[in-house]
Structure 1
Amino acid sequence: MLFDRGARYFRTLGRRGRTVLFQLPLSGTMLLVILLASVLHPDLKWSAAFVSSLVFHAVLLASCAAVPWDRLPERAVLAIPVLDCLAIGLSREAGDQYLSVLSFLLVFPVVWLSYGPRRSGVVLAILAAVLSVAAPPMILGSGYTSASFIRIVLLPVILGAVALTAFGVANALRLHRRRLEEREAEVRELLSASEHREQLLATVMDTVSVGVWALDRNGHTMLTNRHDGSWPGLPAEQGAEGARTQVFGIDQKEALPPEQYPHARAARWQPFTDELVWIGSGTSQRAYSATCRLVPARDGGQAGAVLALTDVTALVEALSAKDQFVASVSHELRTPLTSILGYLSVALDEEGLDPDVVHCLEVAKRNAERLLSLVADLLTVASGTLTIQPRQADLAQVAAQSVESAQPRARAGGVTVTCEAVGPAAGRFDPDRLGQAVDNLVSNAIKYTPRGGTVTVRVGTDDGNLVCSVTDTGVGMTEEDLAQAFNRFFRAANAHSSAIPGAGLGLAITRSIVENHRGTVTLSSTHGHGTTATLTLPMAHTGALAASR
């Protein structure tokens, strides 16, 4: 910690301040050595040459503080450690034998010279070491002795090794610091980006009208866009309001147990999609669509879950109002239509009618029956429920009857309808309801097949399932049409442009019938090359229909 503070303070100094800091250890150590020598050897004699060398040291320290190094070339400051080596050599040469230890002070200027990033600093340090032992005898006139020659050889070698070590360590530290600074910059950049993404996420979450909760491994909320308890139906840990509010199922009557609340299920890592729940009671009751997705962990497990609640009260109320309206209108239409059909039947029973009159009455009866069938479909769709009465039956026979009843319409339109069955397809289902479903598929195929086309109905079994497919060579469907084909009141664009009759309820009713048998119905088509509708009924489930209905 202290070293870090010192390093940060050192980087804040200018070149003059750094030069003074480099010089102070040498000057302080020299002063300490002189004081200790004076204390330990009171009789030590100080020659004029030695005092002059001390003055030289003082002048160098003053120069470090007085010279405007910022205005000089960067390497001009290296003159100070070179002169330090000379001053140390003079002090050692002019001092008493007890002061020969002053040679150790050469480490300070040698390290200073070797500290820089250039190798030339090492060479300069060795030359300065040679100068410290070769120049003083000439300057002071003391001459060279055998000991002087030994020092000229050995001291530069030793200090050269010190210089190389200092150079290596300094550069390693410099490289390490640079890498740390780069990593620090990367971390700061990542932190800044993370903060930006967090702010963006918070803004997005607070903008959407969907309540979102992110849960950790323990089921605790990590992130949410509702902190004021305005989204009820949560466990007690989510707020007092959540603890008081009841949650009901789709029927709005049966209260769910707390462990079946959306938040409780998400905390147990149970994924679900678009499940409708009613939260609250009385006039404040609201409908929510709940969805939960699990967050995968790196180890293959689960790291948490994300729960989303969407307020769909307005949509549910609008759909309910629409269904009620359709049911009311359809019910009001059924009574007069039944009466009209009755009177038309009575009129057709009269004898001696003009053929033109009979034709007109038959057209009126046919259209009235068609309108009554449409009213029945509307009532079926509006009620949202179907009564299923399963019994033992043969799907091949049901399909054959549908084909037979469709033959008049097919011949009128110039379409050939055939039925292909490979043996019986027996099972337990409601033949009347499935007959209605097959009728709808065959009727659609005939309507959308031009004159000269074919419609083929195939019945069989596949992997324990009853399968009935209706294939036509008609106009086909686009990808957009396929995506909406089972929506109520949907009709393809070519149906409108070709004036093909229909209300867009046949496929919706067919799917409802099949799903009530726990089966599926799918469409596959290529635009301009026909459509295949496939009805699949699991035989393994047919035995349970009677108990479940």
Structure 2
Amino acid sequence: MTNTTSQARFRSYFYQVRSLRRRVLLNQLPMALAVGVCTGLAAIFYPQSFHHPLFVTGLLLNVGLVVAAAAIPWDRTPKGTFLVIPYLGFLAVGVFRTGNEQFLTAVGLLVFFPVFWVASCGLARRTAITVSGVGSLLIVWVPVFTASGGVTVEQLAKPLLFPLIMVGFAVTVVFATTSMDAQRVALEIKDRELRAALNASQAREGLLETVVDTVAVGVVVVDGDGNDQLMNATQKELHALAVPHDIADPAEHELLVFGVDGVTPLKARDRPVFRAIQGETFTNYQVWLGTGAGARALSTAARPLRDAAGNFAGAVIAFHDVTEMIAALAAKDNFVANVSHEFRTPLTSIQGYLDMVLEDPQRLPPDVHRYLAIAARNVDRLASLVEDLLATDSVTISRARADVARLVSESLASAAPLAGTNKVELRSEVQASLDAVLDAGRIGQVLDNLVSNAVKYSPDGGTVTVRARARGKELCFEVQDTGLGMSGEEQLGLFTKFFRARSAVQRSIPGIGLGLMIAKTIVAKHGGTLTVESERGVGTTVGFVLPACVAAEAIPAAALGGAAGLDEAAGFDGAGGQGGPAAFDGAAGL
């Protein structure tokens, strides 16, 4: 590699940096040096050669060629004019050889220098081969013609091998030079393309860095080993919040990263970057960075990077500061809770007096009794709304053994009137003999909310299917409808207080937007998770999993043995095969 680089630098210096005059001089110098060595040997061992006129003439010709190569401004002469130097070099070698014939017989090998020059210069390649052959032939034939006595065919044929070798040498050099020139041209084109690609890449990189540094979201790109590849300016500021004041260069586990409560330190495996380099994909995963007044709440998201073969190559993690939004939501929740508490006392009083009045309908005129009954129903409705508002902030659970099939059947029975109105078919696919330890009232409330939503959001008819089964000690529920469905944007706000999908508002579907939030709160109190999968025009599937609540005797033996057993235990009795184990696991695992 080093030799190749050195050669490349030499070629660049020789062909691009140096002027044509200097290159001509450098090409002539090897022959001049060789002639100088021959002259030195002649001066030491054969001084009588200096009395030979051809020796002196040849020496003067070589000196003259060096002077001409150095003195003539070849850059200003027509293209190829400098070839006169190697052409005259054949004459200089011939004359010098004739003058040395009696002393230095190998002087004729000096012809290699002009042959190599004309053959490698890249100009007039055919002429170079011809001149090399003719020049070499004259060098060996001139002494034959100038010698005393007659010229025989044998004398002419005897030295023919030398010019033939020179022609072969010239042809080899021409082909090698042509190949190298083609490679050089190809490399120059490739070099220009690579430089253009590099410039474009650098421009895109600069644009990317500018864009990434402009957005108000922290962005980190890591490789497959978790090493930072890119961190924008916003993330550098956020990262500084997690650095302890007493540690100059903290390790990952020493960073101040906390859970959603802002107090509990997150374990290394639960931190966003660690989860991302494990190949996880997540959205809206909330953490806190820093402590005290400077702590910030962040909503994080991660997506994996894949190489051409589809292998994990890193991840992109985004950190969005949601501190102000959380503070605003907390203030709103406090306001709603305070107002709800204030409503509860007068509502209780109104309900009590109305109940007292309505206990004896004989004491009231019929129309007054009817008016008061209407008022009582609306007070009950308002009280129910207040209870819902309070339920989103404080939920307590009391676990006891319960029959899961009964919970599902009761929820379906409660939804039956509305289902009949909307022409919705209700289906139950519940594992037989399934008991669990849970808060039956609260889980019943969750099922009521989910089934009610499924029926309400199927105003044009359809099917609502409720599934329940054991998966090991986990209890898995799923409520699936074929109703309106929701867009991805609408799904992002599902668990926000008072959120209502646009389709519900347009169709005047009743509700206040608290059902899913209450359901999620109850499931979370049981230590479980609730997930939603929906597609506009296809329907919605809501699943929730409650861990470690299935009674031991309710777990099928096959389910304890492995995955195959789980599939057998998941056989539901209800109609419709679309709710089989694969579909259920897919929805519940979101």
TM-score, normalised with respect to structure 1: 0.80
* Aligned pair partner of 1:159 in 148, 158, 166: 166
| Number of the residue aligned with 2:343 | 333
| Number of the residue aligned with 2:331 | 321
Deviations 1:275-313 (A, max 9, x none): 544444443333334567777789999877766544322
| Number of the residue aligned with 2:562 | none
Structure 2: which amino acid aligns with 1:375? Answer: V
Q: Which moved more, 1:153-162 or 1:234-243?
A: 234-243
**1:327 Cα shift?**
0.7
Conserved? CA contact 2:86–2:114, under 8 Å: yes
* Aligned pair partner of 2:391 in 355, 374, 380: 380
| Number of the residue aligned with 2:14 | 10
**1:435 Cα shift?**
1.7
Deviations 1:327-363 (A, max 9, x none): 1111111111111211221221233323322222222
**1:192 Cα shift?**
3.7
* Alpha-carbon separation, structure 2, partners of 1:263 and 1:421: 37
**1:321 Cα shift?**
0.9
* Alpha-carbon separation, structure 2, partners of 1:93 and 1:471: 109
| Number of the residue aligned with 2:560 | none
Does residue 234 (structure 1) correspond to residue 249 (structure 2)? The answer is no
SS at match of 2:500: coil
* Alpha-carbon separation, structure 1, partners of 2:478 and 2:54: 120
SS at match of 1:97: coil
| Number of the residue aligned with 1:81 | 86
Change (3 A) 1:154 1:248: closer
Structure 2 residue runs of 5 or longer lacking an equivalent are 553-590
**1:7 Cα shift?**
3.6
Structure 2: which amino acid aligns with 1:501? Answer: P
* Alpha-carbon separation, structure 2, partners of 1:98 and 1:403: 123
| Number of the residue aligned with 1:399 | 408
* Aligned pair partner of 2:375 in 352, 364, 367: 364
Deviations 1:72-106 (A, max 9, x none): 55344333323321232223234451143321111
* Aligned pair partner of 1:312 in 322, 333, 338: 322
SS at match of 1:501: coil
Deviations 1:409-439 (A, max 9, x none): 667x575775656655432222111221222
Change (3 A) 1:399 1:364: farther
* Alpha-carbon separation, structure 1, partners of 2:443 and 2:337: 23
* Alpha-carbon separation, structure 2, partners of 1:304 and 1:457: 40
* Aligned pair partner of 2:294 in 284, 296, 302: 284
Conserved? CA contact 1:27–1:57, under 8 Å: yes
* Alpha-carbon separation, structure 1, partners of 2:361 and 2:59: 149
* Aligned pair partner of 1:38 in 25, 37, 43: 43
**1:156 Cα shift?**
0.6
| Number of the residue aligned with 1:547 | none
Does residue 509 (structure 1) correspond to residue 507 (structure 2)? The answer is no
* Aligned pair partner of 1:111 in 113, 116, 126: 116
Change (3 A) 1:263 1:403: closer
Change (3 A) 1:400 1:315: same
Structure 1: which amino acid aligns with 2:165? Answer: I
SS at match of 1:393: strand
Does residue 208 (structure 1) correspond to residue 223 (structure 2)? The answer is no
Matches within 5 A, 1:67-216: 67=72, 69-70=74-75, 72-117=77-122, 118-135=125-142, 144=151, 148-150=155-157, 152-175=159-182, 177-178=184-185, 181=188, 184-185=191-192, 188-189=195-196, 191-212=198-219
SS at match of 1:21: helix
Conserved? CA contact 1:514–1:535, under 8 Å: no
Conserved? CA contact 2:457–2:484, under 8 Å: yes
Q: How many residues matched?
A: 536
Change (3 A) 1:408 1:365: farther
Q: Which moved more, 1:59-68 or 1:263-272?
A: 263-272
| Number of the residue aligned with 1:436 | 445
**1:185 Cα shift?**
4.5
Change (3 A) 1:437 1:294: closer
Q: What is the root-mean-square deviation of aligned Cα atoms in Å?
A: 4.3
Conserved? CA contact 1:202–1:225, under 8 Å: yes
Structure 1 residue runs of 5 or longer lacking an equivalent are 545-549
* Alpha-carbon separation, structure 2, partners of 1:367 and 1:150: 131
SS at match of 1:343: helix
Q: Among all aligned residue pairs of Structure 1 and Structure 2, give the percentage whose two residues are the same amino acid.
A: 35
Conserved? CA contact 1:266–1:306, under 8 Å: no
* Aligned pair partner of 2:497 in 468, 484, 488: 488
